[in-house]
């Protein structure tokens, strides 16, 4: 920016600021003074041909020298300084695309070119967390129309890498979350690949739930695969279950999801763009989408589900994807475990055809795999579930799953939590309602998904008769702090599981 460059020596400070890039300078350092930098200034750091934007923290004191600057772990990894390199600095450039975001706040729809500019700037790291929250919130508040959703989806696809499998048909599936324990993906991939279709599955980590498919699968095998690794696994086995974020497929999605998680926000347009951009970038041609519906699932009503299904199919058509949406029962959690390792245990029980394996998890997986068999043409309409059932009961799916895990780097045994605590029924009666959201929140407070063994194990289902004192579910935690925290929350949300015979006037907590 200015004619003469002021150079500083990089120093790794070992400060983990999560994904935020932070650099540190002395208040009396000549760069701070000549450039007019202040605490929280957004600045551009240039090191040879590399460049990042970071937030400045100003140091008073002498533990940093005035001819050096400090880097957070995130900034260190982003810049990757080599021996002897020196950095120069400038004010961060104005983020012009934020004017489009402000126009959206005032009610103007966003055009395709504006989405391209916004998503490109987001991927370059030009947006602060506060600006990302502004973008997401105004899109959720005004909503996005069909044209905007297609524009956002295309922008998110274009901003990342694209996988090309050199095949005519690549199948995929996705579940629009909100239903704890609904871990069908590993089962569906195993069935579909076992029967000869190609399904290179990329999954997200949890957004607002206690576990995403990537979190669960990671307790069974490595999931942070490079594109080359993924291609090798798929070439060999016809399927894989990888974490999409490690591959820079729709990288904007991972940045946006972090902020959506922080504000606990899921919006329809963002959801469609997130799902379909990942599928398209991953090279899918035929996609089945599971939409669980229930008063405490993400999709609350049949009407909402139909609208979302239409939006997914229409946006799919706009970007050249064959999409089938399957509306399913979302009244209660699926399987028993809620949390990465506990859900992995349920998946293994179904694959191994164990006695007592969760029947609902098995049935849903068969339903979805059947829809893929039909959409792909491998089975006639109506004959898909028979093929899926056979794949499971014959053991073909289980053998395929083990082979996939081995190919991804070796099968793992899901961890067990160090502490468990049963939560007893406060009275006898019939289970009449289960609040998915409160249950998910309890699993999160127990430490899931960050601590993979944490979460909870559900022992009852709708319609079950329970005795007073009989365990309704068991908390699994790794720390005493988290256990106390989950129990404290439970104190104020005791009707997470409703048992007939409760006094009138109670309403399910939201």
Q: Which of 48, 65, 77, 99 is close enough to bind its own copies by CB under 8 A?
A: 99
Among 71, 110, 115, 138, binds its own copies (CB under 8 A): 138
CB 174 within 8 A of CB 289: yes
- Residue 33 binds to its own copies (criterion: CB under 8 A): yes
Establish if 27 lies at the interface with its own copies (CB under 8 A).
Answer: yes
Q: Give min distance, CB of 110 to its own copies, in A.
A: 13
- If one asks whether residue 416 binds its own copies (CB under 8 A), the answer comes out as no
435 lies in the site for its own copies, by CB under 8 A:
no
The 3-state DSSP class for residue 74 equals: helix
| Range list of H helices, 282-338 | 302-319
Of 359 and 450, the one with the shorter C-beta distance to its own copies is 450
Nearest 10 degrees: Cα torsion 463, 466, 471, 472: 30
Nearer to its own copies among residue 128 and residue 470 (C-beta): 128
Classified as helix, coil or strand, 160 is: coil
Residue 325 contacts residue 312 (beta carbons within 8 Å) = yes
Does the footprint of its own copies cover residue 68 (CB under 8 A)? no
Specify the residue, 304 or 502, whose C-beta has the smaller distance to its own copies.
304
Out of 278, 478, 496, 498, the residue judged to bind its own copies by CB under 8 A: 478
Q: What are phi and psi of 346, to 5 degrees?
A: -65, -40
CA 183, 185, 188, 190 dihedral sign is negative
Q: Is 82 in the site for its own copies (CB under 8 A)?
A: no
440 is an interface residue for its own copies by CB under 8 A:
no
- 207-212-213 Cα angle (round to 5): 150
Please list, in sequence order, all residues whose beta carbon lies within 8 angstroms of the beta carbon of residue 309, skipping any fewer than 6 positions away.
Answer: 289, 291, 325, 327
Asked if 129 touches its own copies (CB under 8 A), the answer is: yes
Residue 165 as a binder of its own copies (CB under 8 A): the answer is no
User: 450: part of which helix (H) or strand (E)?
Assistant: none
Alpha carbons 390 and 398: distance in angstroms, whole number: 12
Shortest distance, position 249 Cβ to its own copies, whole Å: 24
424 belongs to the binding site for its own copies (CB under 8 A): no
For its own copies, give the closer residue by CB, 50 or 258. Answer: 258
Residues 199-228 that bind its own copies (CB under 8 A): none
From the list 172, 266, 290, 435, the catalytic residue is 266
**Shortest Å, Cβ 399 to its own copies:** 38
Place of tokens 């990302």: 132
- Pick the binder of its own copies from 44, 67, 105, 409 (CB under 8 A): 105
Establish if 503 lies at the interface with its own copies (CB under 8 A): no
Tokens 């073909």, residue located: 396
Active site residue 16: no
Which among 469, 465, 460, 490 has a CA at the least distance from the CA of 427?
A: 469
Task: Tell me: does residue 302 bind its own copies (CB under 8 A).
Answer: no
Q: Which is nearer to its own copies, 12 or 465 (CB)?
A: 12
Query: 116 or 268, CB closer to its own copies?
Result: 268
* 57 near its own copies (CB under 8 A): yes
- Region of 157 (left: φ > 0; alpha: ψ -120 to 50; beta: rest) is alpha
The DSSP H or E segment spanning 130 is: helix 129-142
Closer Cβ to its own copies, 267 or 470, answer by number: 267
Residue 420 touches its own copies, criterion: CB under 8 A: no
For 28-133, strand residue ranges (E) read 42-47, 50-59, 68-71, 87-91
How many residues touch its own copies (CB under 8 A)? 70
* Cα–Cα distance measured from residue 35 to residue 255, given in angstroms and rounded to the nearest whole number: 29
Determine, following the binding rule CB under 8 A, whether residue 500 of this chain makes contact with its own copies: no
113 is a contact residue toward its own copies (CB under 8 A) = no
Site for its own copies in 231-290 (CB under 8 A): 259, 262-265, 267
Residue 53 phi/psi, 5-degree rounding, is -100, 140
Report how far residue 130's alpha carbon sits from residue 187's, in angstroms, rounded to the nearest whole number.
39
Q: Does 15 bind its own copies (CB under 8 A)?
A: yes
**35 in contact with its own copies (CB under 8 A):** yes
- What would the DSSP string read from start to end of 344-399? HHHHHHHHTT-TT--HHHHHHHHHHHHHHHHHHTSS-TT-HHHHHHHHHHTSHHHH
Interacting residues toward its own copies by CB under 8 A: 1-3, 13-20, 24, 27, 33-36, 38-40, 57-61, 63, 72-73, 90-91, 94, 98-99, 102, 104-107, 128-134, 136-138, 140-142, 259, 262-265, 267, 447, 450-451, 478-482, 484-485, 488-489, 510
Active site residues: 266
């Amino acid at each position: 920016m200015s004619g003469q460059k002021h150079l500083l020596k990089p120093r790794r400070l070992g400060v983990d600021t999560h994904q935020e890039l932070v650099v540190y300078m002395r208040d009396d350092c000549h760069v701070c003074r000549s450039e007019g930098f202040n605490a929280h200034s957004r600045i551009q750091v240039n090191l040879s041909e590399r460049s990042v934007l970071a937030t400045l923290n100003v140091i008073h004191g002498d533990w940093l020298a005035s001819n050096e600057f400090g880097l957070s772990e995130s900034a260190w990894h982003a810049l990757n300084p080599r021996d002897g390199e020196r950095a120069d600095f400038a004010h961060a450039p104005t983020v012009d695309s934020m004017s489009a975001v402000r126009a959206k706040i005032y009610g103007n729809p966003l055009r395709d070119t504006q989405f391209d500019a916004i998503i490109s700037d987001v991927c370059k790291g030009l947006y602060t967390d506060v600006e990302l929250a502004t973008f997401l919130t105004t899109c959720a508040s005004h909503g996005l129309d069909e044209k905007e959703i297609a524009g956002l989806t295309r922008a998110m696809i274009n901003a990342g890498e694209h996988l090309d499998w050199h095949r005519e048909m690549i199948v995929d599936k996705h579940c629009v979350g909100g239903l704890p324990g609904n871990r069908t993906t590993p089962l569906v991939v195993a069935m579909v690949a076992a029967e000869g279709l190609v399904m290179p599955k990329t999954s997200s980590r949890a957004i607002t739930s206690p576990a995403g498919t990537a979190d669960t699968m990671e307790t069974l095998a490595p999931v942070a695969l490079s594109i080359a690794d993924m291609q090798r696994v798929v070439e060999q086995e016809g399927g894989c279950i990888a974490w999409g974020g490690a591959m820079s497929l729709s990288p904007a999605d991972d940045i946006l999801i972090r902020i959506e998680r922080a504000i606990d926000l899921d919006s329809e347009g963002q959801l469609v763009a997130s799902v379909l951009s990942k599928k398209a970038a991953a090279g899918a041609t035929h996609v089945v989408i599971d939409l669980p519906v229930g008063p405490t699932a993400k999709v609350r009503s049949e009407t909402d589900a139909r609208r979302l299904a239409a939006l997914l199919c229409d946006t799919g058509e706009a970007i050249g994807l064959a999409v089938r949406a399957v509306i399913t029962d979302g009244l209660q959690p699926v399987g028993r475990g809620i949390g990465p390792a506990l859900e992995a245990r349920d998946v293994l029980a179904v694959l191994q055809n164990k006695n007592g394996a969760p029947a609902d998890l098995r049935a849903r997986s068969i339903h979805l795999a059947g829809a893929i068999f039909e959409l792909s043409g491998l089975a006639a309409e109506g004959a898909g579930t028979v093929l899926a059932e056979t794949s499971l009961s014959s053991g073909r799916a289980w053998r395929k799953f083990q082979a996939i895990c081995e190919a991804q780097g070796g099968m793992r045994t899901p961890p067990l939590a160090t502490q468990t605590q049963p939560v007893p029924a406060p009275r006898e009666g019939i289970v009449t309602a289960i609040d998915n959201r409160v249950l998910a929140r309890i699993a999160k407070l127990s430490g899931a998904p960050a601590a993979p063994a944490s979460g909870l194990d559900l022992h009852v289902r709708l319609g079950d008769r329970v005795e007073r004192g009989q365990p309704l579910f068991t908390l699994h935690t790794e720390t005493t702090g988290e256990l106390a925290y989950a129990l404290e929350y439970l104190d104020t949300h005791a009707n997470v599981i409703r048992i007939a015979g409760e006094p009138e006037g109670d309403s399910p907590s939201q």
